Amino acid sequence: MARFFLGSKAKQQGVALIMVLWLVAAMSLLVAGVIYSARMDTKQTQRLNSMAKYTAMADGVSKLALRSYLLWQQEQAVQVPYEWTSDQYGVVASVSIVPTKGLIDLNTAGFDALFQLFSIRLGLDEEQASILAQNLIDWRRPVSSDFQGLFDKYEARGLPMPRHGRLFSVADLLAIDGFNLDMMHLLEDVVYVDRVFGGGVDPVSAPAAVLSVLSNGNEEAVLSYLEMREQSINEESSGGSTMLNSTEFSSAFLGQGSSTIARLDVDIEVEQVRMLRRLWVDTSGYSAGLPWEVVRAEPMRIRPQGKSKEMPQMLAANRP
- pLDDT of 45-103, one tens digit each? 877 888 888 888 899 999 999 999 988 888 777 788 999 998 877 778 999 999 999 99
Domain layout of the chain by residue ranges? 57-102+201-205+253-320, 104-197
What is the pLDDT at residue 315?
36
d(CA 231, CA 162): 46
d(CA 215, CA 213): 5
3-state secondary structure of 3: helix
> What Cα–Cα distance (Å) separates residue 18 from each residue in 6, 14, 27, 188, 240?
19, 6, 14, 62, 94
| Beta bridge pairs of residue 263 | 98, 280
d(CA 108, CA 220): 28
- Comparing C-alpha atoms, which of 255, 229, 256 is closest to residue 243? 229
Q: Residues with Cβ < 8 Å from 159, sequence gap 6 or more?
A: 175, 176, 177
Residue 11 pLDDT > 60, yes or no? yes
Q: Give how far the C-alpha of residue 139 lies from the chain's centroid of Cα atoms, to the nearest Å.
A: 22
Going by pLDDT thresholds of 50, 70 and 90, the confidence category of residue 185 is: very high
What is the pLDDT at residue 161?
73
> What Cα–Cα distance (Å) separates residue 22 from each residue in 13, 14, 17, 165, 187?
14, 12, 9, 63, 57
d(CA 212, CA 311): 9
Residue 249 is given by DSSP the state S
104-197 classified as CATH 1.10.40.60: yes
- Comparing C-alpha atoms, which of 192, 212, 214 is closest to residue 202? 214
Going by pLDDT thresholds of 50, 70 and 90, the confidence category of residue 244 is: confident
- Comparing C-alpha atoms, which of 231, 205, 237 is closest to residue 96? 205
Q: What would the DSSP string read from start to end of 129-190?
A: HHHHHHHHHHHHSPP-GGGHHHHHHHHHTTPPPP--S--SSGGGGGGSTT--HHHHHHHTTT
